[in-house]
Structure 1
Amino acid sequence: MDKKVLLSAVIDELESKVATLVSAMEQTVDAATNEETVPEHKYDTLALEASYLAHGQAMRLEQVKNDITALRTTVLRPFSGDNKVGLTALVQLEDDSERTAWYFVLPCAGGISIPGYGVTVVTPHSPLGKSLLGQSRDEEVSLSIAGKVCHYAIISIE
């Protein structure tokens, strides 16, 4: 898989999130400042709640924009089968049921699934990302998920 194409797809996903967040934030700001949301009594907190929501959306929007900037400056390292997992590695894992999945280790944007490629972004801060860093092909990593221990074998590193 071409990591440049994958990285570009992640940035595209984040840019579409920006458009959605801007739209949602505009609606929330409108709700917070609309004359119909003026409190009628001390327990009427609709405008206050809308302003808190707008603030949270603004913070999320700023984070997504920072992620886009960080990813645009990310240098993609080439990995061979002998390398250990590091930032920008594309890792194929196999679980106990012999199902395989691909993960792209990036500094941010964790959890994004790249449409059409079957690849999910993980960050070094996530439990899976932490367990993968520094591991080699054919090694196993284990994670405790909801009290259940899951084992994964590293099939390939690109």
Structure 2
Amino acid sequence: MDKFLLQQQVLERLAEDLLQAEQGARTAHETATHEENIAENKYDTLGLEASYLATGQARRAEAIRQAIANWRQFRPRAYDASQGIQIGALVCLVDADDRQQQLFLGPDGGSMKLVSGAQTVQVISSEAPLCRAMLGKCEGDEVTLQVAPGRQQFEVLWVD
């Protein structure tokens, strides 16, 4: 699996998300400033609510722009067993039920699923608890993640 192709897919998905966020911000701004939405009394809050939405969408768009910049600068490196798993690694984990999952560890803007060939790859950011739990681990190591109802345990099957 080519990590550079996965990186391009992430950039494409982030670009799509940015277009949607920008369109949402424009629409909310137009609604907030439209003459029909001028408040006539203290209970008429449509314009105010739309302005809050526009502000939120603008912040989201800025966060996506930052994620795009980070992914453009990002250079995934080959796995080095002496350093263990690092950001940029493609990792296959297996759980106690023999379910496998492939993860691509990126700088941010994660939480998306990509398809590469017949494989599904989950992109996770460096801030994700699972990513932090994997850092420094090697093939064959156990990864433990504390979640609300209990603990999840995985084995690192392979790393690229």
The bucket for the TM-score relative to the shorter chain is over 0.9
Partner residue in 2 for 1:153: 155
Listed as ranges, the gaps of 5+ residues in structure 2 are: none
Query: What is the one-letter code of the residue matched to 1:36?
Result: E
Partner residue in 2 for 1:55: 55
Q: Is the contact made by 1:9 and 1:114 (CA closer than 8 Å) also made in structure 2? A: yes
Partner residue in 2 for 1:93: 93
Structure-2 separation of matches of 1:80 and 1:124: 18
Partner residue in 1 for 2:36: 36
Cα distance change on mapping 1:80 and 1:134 into 2, 3 Å: closer
Partner residue in 2 for 1:134: 136
User: Does 2:72 match 1:68?
Assistant: no
- TM-score where L is the length of structure 2: 0.93
Q: Is the contact made by 1:111 and 1:120 (CA closer than 8 Å) also made in structure 2? A: yes
Deviating beyond 4 angstroms after TM superposition, the runs of 4 or more aligned structure 1 residues are: 80-83
Aligned residues: 158
- TM-score where L is the length of structure 1: 0.94
Greater shift, 44-53 or 108-117, is seen at 108-117
1:128-149 alpha-carbon deviations (Å, 9 max, x no partner): 0110111111111111223221
Partner residue in 2 for 1:23: 23
1:65-94 alpha-carbon deviations (Å, 9 max, x no partner): 111111111112011566510010000000
Q: Is the contact made by 1:82 and 1:137 (CA closer than 8 Å) also made in structure 2? A: no
Structure-2 separation of matches of 1:115 and 1:145: 27
1:71-130 alpha-carbon deviations (Å, 9 max, x no partner): 111112011566510010000000111100111111111201113441111122111011
Q: Is the contact made by 1:37 and 1:46 (CA closer than 8 Å) also made in structure 2? A: yes
| Equivalent position SS for 2:84 | coil
Q: Is the contact made by 1:21 and 1:57 (CA closer than 8 Å) also made in structure 2? A: yes
Structure-1 separation of matches of 2:159 and 2:82: 8
Query: What is the one-letter code of the residue matched to 1:51?
Result: S
Percent identity between the two aligned chains: 32
Partner residue in 2 for 1:106: 106
Query: What is the one-letter code of the residue matched to 2:45?
Result: T
Partner residue in 2 for 1:124: 126
Structure-2 separation of matches of 1:65 and 1:95: 35
